[in-house]
Amino acid sequence: MDLRVRRIAEQMKKEIAQILQDELKDPRVGFVTVTEVELSTDLRYAKVYVSIYGDEEAKKQSLEGLSKATGFIRREIGKRISLRHTPEIVFRFDESIERGDRIARLISQIKEEKGNEGTSGNSHGA
C-alpha cells in the first residue's frame, strides 16, 4: 500500500471513530472501536475493522447497526475527506484483540499451573 493510500486510510479511521462516537444515534451500536481501515489501491472500497465490547448478542446488534448506518457514515466521510469517489464501506469484526486476550489468559493460566506444581510436589525431605 503506498503512502497516500495509508494516509487516507488513517484519516478515514479517525473520522469514522469520531462519527461513531459523536454523531451516530443508533441504540444498537454499543461500545465500538475502529481498529483499522483497509483501502483498495483505487480508493473505491474500504474495509473498516471494528472491535466491539460485549457479548455475542451485543456484537451482532452493533454490526447490524453499523451496516444500517453505512450510507450515513459514507456521506459524512465524503464531506470530510475530499476524494474523487467516496469509498464503499464494509464493516468487519476485528477478532485480533479478543484472540490476543485469550492467548494472554492461556499463558497466565499455564504459568499459574507451573507455579503450583513447584510448590505442591516438594514434600520429599531429608
For the segment 51-86, what is each residue's pLDDT rounded down to a tens digit?
Answer: 988 888 988 999 999 999 999 999 999 999 999 999
The confidence band for 103, taking pLDDT boundaries of 50, 70 and 90, is confident
Q: Report the C-alpha gap between 121 and 63 in whole angstroms.
A: 50
How far apart CA 115 and CA 49 sit, in angstroms, is 38
pLDDT of residue 117: 75
Average pLDDT over residues 86-101: 86
- Indicate the pTM of the whole model: 0.76
- Whether residue 89 contacts residue 77, with contact meaning beta carbons closer than 8 Å, is answered with yes
Cα 73 from Cα 28, distance rounded (Å): 15
Percent of the chain residues topping a pLDDT of 70: 92
| Residue 119 pLDDT | 61
Quote the cell numbers at residue 6: 495509508
Q: In the chain, what percentage of residues exceed pLDDT 90? A: 60
- Domains of the chain with bracketed CATH: 3-118 (3.30.300.20)
Nearest to 52 by CA among 37, 69, 64, 39: 64
